[in-house]
């Protein structure tokens, strides 16, 4: 049974990323596709890694944090990776809560300024 592999173009389409992004992820060693001449092939492992990378980016993780987290699995296994994930998630949740508080404050100030300006026109 042949395992499913994606070409470079298929990988870009499946994950809705630009070729530049995919090449960059390879350059910083987040992905390591098989090479056949000039062609690149992404197997199940690379597809799973790309899913995790994009999920991490969605939550605001830095690429270096994602790279280090992926390395933990390779070097220390699943349990160590899950423990590291909890630490990363806790830090990111704290950061996101701080950002939300800053956004709420900015929204409130802008709304007040807008309302004051609108009432002065009446």
pLDDT in tens, 80-95: 999 999 999 999 999 9
- For residue 6 the two structure tokens come to 């994606």
Residues found in the chain? 122
pLDDT at 49 over 90: yes
Domain endpoint, select from 11, 42, 58: 58
Cα gap 111→10, rounded to integer Å: 45
In this predicted structure, what is the pLDDT of residue 7? 96
Cα gap 66→43, rounded to integer Å: 19
Same domain as 70, residue 42: no
Mean pLDDT of the chain: 94
Same domain as 115, residue 94: yes
Q: How many domains does the chain have?
A: 2
In this predicted structure, what is the pLDDT of residue 16? 97
* Other beta carbons less than 10 A from residue 16's beta carbon: 8
pLDDT at 113 over 80: yes
The model's pLDDT over 57-67, given as tens digits with 9 standing for 90+, comes to: 999 999 999 99
pLDDT at 72 over 60: yes
Cα gap 67→65, rounded to integer Å: 5
pLDDT at 98 over 80: yes
3-state secondary structure 9-39: HHHHHHHCCCHHHHHHHHHCCCCCCEEECCE
Cα gap 13→116, rounded to integer Å: 48
In this predicted structure, what is the pLDDT of residue 2? 52
pLDDT at 1 over 80: no
Domain endpoint, select from 11, 27, 58: 58
Same domain as 69, residue 54: no
Contact (CB, 8 A) for 81 and 72: yes
Same domain as 40, residue 12: yes
pTM: 0.81
With cut-offs at 50, 70 and 90, classify the pLDDT of residue 73: confident
What is the residue range of 51's domain? 1-58
């Amino acid at each position: 049974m042949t395992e499913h592999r994606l070409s470079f173009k298929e990988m870009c389409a499946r994950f809705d990323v630009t070729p530049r992004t995919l090449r960059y992820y390879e350059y910083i060693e987040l992905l390591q596709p098989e090479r056949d001449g000039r062609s690149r092939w992404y197997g199940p492992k690379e597809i799973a890694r790309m899913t995790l990378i994009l999920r991490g980016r969605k939550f605001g993780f830095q690429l270096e944090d994602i790279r280090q987290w992926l390395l933990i699995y390779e070097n220390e296994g699943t349990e160590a990776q899950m423990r590291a994930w909890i630490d990363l998630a806790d830090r990111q949740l704290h950061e996101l809560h701080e950002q939300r508080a800053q956004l709420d404050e900015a929204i409130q100030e802008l709304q007040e300024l807008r309302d004051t300006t609108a009432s002065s026109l009446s």
